[in-house]
Amino acid sequence: MIENMPRKRPPFVYPEKSRHGRDTLYFRRGKGKRIRMPDDMQSQEFARAYEAALAGQAGKTTNTSRAPSDTLQWLVERYMESGRWINLAPATRKQQGLLFQDAIKRGDNPAYRGITRKTMMRAMDARATTPALANNFLKAMRGLFRWAVKNEYIEADPTLDVDSFHYKTNGFKVWELADVEAFCNKWPIGTKPRLAFALYLVSGLRRSDVHRIGLQHLKGDVLSIRAVKPPHHLITVKTPQFLLDTIAQTPFGDLAFMTKENGQPFKSKESFGNWFGARCREAGLEKGKAAHGIRKFSATAAANAGATTHELMSHFGWSNPAQAEIYTRGADRQRLGIRSSERTKEHFEHIMPRTSLPGAGKI
């Protein structure tokens, strides 16, 4: 439907002049709510927003809303009807939706036009004790207000020049060889935790994908799956024999290798992640070492083996080269250091004196 969207206005879409004299588009079916549409009818954003409006997905939010039209809640609801919101990953929509609700509650549903840069700076200060959460809040609000400016709900973005917090963190703890040995000793081949570990290690996937992998994703020795994050990114890896052997010796479900003890698949990535984290603790691994630490371990091993930045990006589903370079940088330093020292070794041997002490070799 996206590719075949006609150039003329589709049904239920009509033009309207904004208060600034700009041509805008709205969707309205019968006596339903007016839904602001993206301006470019040929864009994928418009097509997705139009499909959502036709399906009633956007209307559900507005029909149940009683928020005054000048409030933050009302603006958030309009944002959640937009193509931009629809195109966000489900996990991102869930996270940002909770952050919006928290902001609405804290501010007693303030007027969105009254939110200024100073307001946003105070809001960040109020969240300073949890800097990661504060930065996620700023990111969500920035997306909301940039969209609002573009669609002429407001004239200026109050998040401009509001800085995120800089804080030191080592992130998830990377596994070491001792952790691998401890885990494998606790969970031998044939157990579900061992299969989960092997899938994490080889695929480099996140928990949101590992718990979905099944036989349908395995063709011979090639594993291929569309990742949840980034959306629709195709991850393709060649599986070593030890993973194929582990799969063959472990009970699994019809559509997913990873199932609970009752044979049912995990309902969410969170439940699967909690289950695997508990198995890590049972293996004696320190707190903080779980699934994502295997991902780091795998990426480090790949970089040390000579994987390039773009190869790592494709393997681990990173869209930003900076993420891959975290792993390649250290590996490159080691390889380049050895290569450089080998080049200069003969030169050093030529210029250095053969004797180790003054007068050595004299009688």
User: What are the pLDDT digits (tens) for 326-342?
Assistant: 776 666 665 556 666 66
Please give the residue that has the higher pLDDT: either 180 or 58. 180
CB 279 within 8 A of CB 224: no
Residues near 34 by beta carbon (within 8 Å), at least 6 away in sequence? 26, 27, 28
Token pair of 93 as six digits? 């929509």
Q: Scanning the structure block, which residue is given the tokens 């990535």?
A: 269
Residues 290-325: tens digit of each pLDDT:
888 898 888 888 888 888 888 888 888 777 788 777
Residues near 299 by beta carbon (within 8 Å), at least 6 away in sequence? 204, 312, 316, 324, 327
Sign of CA dihedral 191, 195, 196, 198: positive
Residues near 79 by beta carbon (within 8 Å), at least 6 away in sequence? 85, 144, 147, 148
Q: How far, in whole angstroms, is CA 8 from its chain's centroid?
A: 37
Confidence (pLDDT) at 135: 94
- State the burial class of residue 73 (Cβ atoms within 10 Å of its Cβ: 0-12, 13-18, 19+): buried
Does the pLDDT of residue 66 top 70, yes or no?
A: no
Once rounded to an integer, what is the mean pLDDT over residues 201-230?
A: 89
Residues 139-177: tens digit of each pLDDT:
999 999 999 999 889 999 999 999 999 876 656 788 999
Does the pLDDT of residue 136 top 50, yes or no?
A: yes
> What distance in Å separates the CA atoms of residue 261 and residue 67, rounded to the nearest whole number?
46
Three-state secondary-structure class, residue 53: helix
For each of the domains in the chain, give its residue range(s) and CATH number, in order of start: 13-150 (no CATH), 177-323 (1.10.443.10)
**Mean predicted lDDT score pLDDT of the chain:** 83
Q: In 192-320, which ranges are continuous DSSP H helix?
A: 192-203, 207-210, 241-248, 269-282, 291-304, 309-316
* DSSP single-letter state for residue 23: E
